[in-house]
Structure 1
Amino acid sequence: NIPAFASTFFPVLYSLLFVTGLVGNVLVIWVLTVFKKVRAMTDVYLLNLAISDLLFVFSLPFLVQYCIKSQWTFGNAMCKIISSAYFIGFYSSVFFITIMSIDRYLAIVRSVYALQVRTTTHGVITSLVLWAVAILASVPDLIFFQETNDNNRTKCIADYPNSNNGWKTFSNFEVNVLGWLIPVGVLIFCYHSILKHLQKCHTQNKYKAMKLVFIVVIVFFLFWTPVNIVLFLDSLRNMYIIDDCQTSQRLDLAMELAEVLSFIHCCLNPVIYAFVGEKFKKHLR
């Protein structure tokens, strides 16, 4: 019983994630802005990644209430704001993790060229562009998510015109392409090139330099790949390729669990910084 499971398990989990994610990401922002002063391009990207994670964190208290009451009680405006924050946070997270990998590629493989482009100013400009793209990609969610009455319960869901599955399928594929396929292609190229370069130049400092970003990327895709797989299967259901009732119910449960993984991820990046990032550990001592 998905509703019964959600109303008991998810509120406790989301409350723990809210506290952990808020403290962890605020700590990252504090270290970057107060101690490190955001002097390097990588610092700019790490700062923006923490802000992206906070967008997830700020939506969690609303989801706790949503799960307990089994209906949305915050009004239509907050429905749109929280839904948009979720998707903007998702897109911006994947964009900043991808650009951090490109940054590591330039620093290690194209080190001479990197001296010209890896500046704080370029980092700020790139970050503004990525935020703009993330906001644009989330516009359909801002438009279609709204407070809706469903079986005498008020819900915050995507309400497409005339139950049009075309828009829903487009939204799913948008997440799959922008949030998974393109980043995977970029990451494979960057890390393949980095590994080839390191085979020729066995420098311990270069291994340390890529360790933080590499672990952040691996953790991201471990926790976001399930969501993308479920969204792809949901698109197949929208196109009636998957149409049996039992599979559809299992897909709904899989979506609930996959979304939990995505929220857990927003709490992991600060942990990674504390245990892997040497500079972060130094400032926290």
Structure 2
Amino acid sequence: MEVVTPSEDITYYEDYYSAVGLEEFEPCKKAHIREFSNAFLPVFYSITCILSVVANLTLLIIFIKYKTLRKVFPVNMVISDIVFTLTLPFWAVYASGEWIFGYDSCKAVTLVYTVSLYSSNLFFASMGLQRFLDNVMYNIKMFRSPKRNTIMCILVWIISALAAIVHAHFVETHEFDKQNICTYHFGDKAAWKIYVRFQMNFLGFVIPFLVLLFCSIRLQCFASERTTLQRHVPAKFEAGFTIVFFLLWFPYGVVIFLHTLQDLHVFHACTINIHFDVAIQVTECIAFLHVIVNPLLYVFLNKKIRRRLKGICSTPREYLLEESNSSSVALSQNGAFELSSVHRFQARDRNNSWAERPGIIIPEAT
């Protein structure tokens, strides 16, 4: 039986435990892969868990402390990543030996893990959709509803929960080789095995990526038609989020698709089976880094968040001095603009003292 969990070969399939490539062929030996997984995965999950907790809790504290920075989608994305992170200790223990948490916990942890994984990626895409609606579709009343983002968040959680029910239904514990394992058991329902893989690929990668790509292209086109810097900021945001999401999830999506072809008996060789097992471990570990990359990327691309975070890390005196200096710079710049505007106006007034020509207005400081 297979499971879409990091614990068993990072994929969800029983071949990893039974050491069988395909049922109609002779066993494919994978002892060395299991030994590598038992040593590497617990360490990786533990480090990822610690770094994710630090990064996401820091961002969550900023959202709680500063109401003006609190946005619906980023907050929900952080919550999803934290919930996903809380499942990593279970997978770390499981990867080092066997499932010791019982039958109900197997289903519960898999359900929470899958819901948080889907919702995190969908919230990531929803942030791009929000930027697109706020900047490109702002003149359409239907998209300016104050309840829009709340409704979208509710839909994301509902879709993620409904998709995860399939995983929780088929996952269970049973004994293999004198060890308890938590994995999928499809029995004679092989079609559901293919469905679960395609669901993970489409809902976890394809749909979020297409949303991000569409919004990124439209925002770039929109920014090219505007000259102000403010119009280019959302486009830069969207491009950064789209590229990072693609780099994290595309390799994993490709390997899941290849595993699906293997389930359909397109590939038969034992060596190919082993290579797929190694590839799924590596690419899923890369994809799971999203719980660290998401908050770091959001902070990196958000100037206001960086300023607040710097204020939290610095002493009160340093922070007040910095704010004072920044205010002084802003005032001096405004003063320079105003003085320059006055000089230009005075010069124009001397040259055109005979009359005020139509269409000429006093320059404004910007």
Both structures adopt the same fold (TM-score exceeding 0.5):
yes
1:259 to 281, 284, 292: 284
* Per-residue deviation, 1:236: 0.7
Give the share of equivalent positions with the same residue, in percent. Answer: 28
Aligned length: 279
* Per-residue deviation, 1:275: 2.4
Deviations 1:228-263 (A, max 9, x none): 111111111111111111101111111111221122
- The answer to whether the 8 Å contact 1:56/1:263 transfers is no
* Per-residue deviation, 1:66: 1.1
Give the partner amino acid of 1:23. Answer: V
* Per-residue deviation, 1:213: 4.3
Residue 27 to residue 210, structure 1, CA distance change in 2 (3 Å): farther
C-alpha distance in 1, partners of 2:202/2:47? 31
Q: Does 1:105 align with 2:132?
A: yes
1:22-41 alignment, distance < 5 Å: 22-36=53-67
C-alpha distance in 2, partners of 1:181/1:78? 30
Residue 50 of structure 1: aligned partner = 78
1:167-186 alignment, distance < 5 Å: 167-186=192-211
Residue 243 of structure 1: aligned partner = 268
C-alpha distance in 2, partners of 1:17/1:149? 29
1:234 to 239, 259, 266: 259
Residue 2 to residue 34, structure 1, CA distance change in 2 (3 Å): same
1:141-220 alignment, distance < 5 Å: 141-162=167-188, 164-220=189-245
1:278 to 303, 321, 338: 303
- The answer to whether the 8 Å contact 1:97/1:217 transfers is no
C-alpha distance in 1, partners of 2:145/2:47? 37
Give the partner amino acid of 1:18. Answer: C
Residue 172 to residue 214, structure 1, CA distance change in 2 (3 Å): same
1:20 to 51, 63, 69: 51
Higher helix fraction (1 or 2): 1
Give the partner amino acid of 1:81. Answer: A
C-alpha distance in 2, partners of 1:86/1:134? 11
* Per-residue deviation, 1:114: 6.9
- The answer to whether the 8 Å contact 1:38/1:44 transfers is no
Give me the TM-score of the superposition, normalised by structure 2: 0.72
Give the partner amino acid of 1:152. Answer: K
- The answer to whether the 8 Å contact 2:171/2:185 transfers is yes
- The answer to whether the 8 Å contact 2:212/2:238 transfers is no
Residue 332 of structure 2: aligned partner = none
1:66-105 alignment, distance < 5 Å: 66-69=94-97, 71-105=98-132
- The answer to whether the 8 Å contact 1:212/1:272 transfers is no
C-alpha distance in 1, partners of 2:153/2:203? 16
Residue 93 to residue 213, structure 1, CA distance change in 2 (3 Å): farther
Q: Does 1:60 align with 2:88?
A: yes
* Per-residue deviation, 1:123: 1.4
Residue 114 to residue 108, structure 1, CA distance change in 2 (3 Å): farther
Give the partner amino acid of 2:88. Answer: L
Aligned partner of residue 111 in structure 1, secondary structure:
coil
Q: Which has the higher contact order (CA 8 A, sep 6+)?
A: 1
Which segments of 5 or more consecutive residues in structure 1 lack a partner in the other structure?
none
Stretch moving more, 170-179 or 203-212: 203-212
Q: Does 1:5 align with 2:44?
A: no
Superposition RMSD on alpha carbons, in Å? 1.9
Residue 155 of structure 2: aligned partner = 129
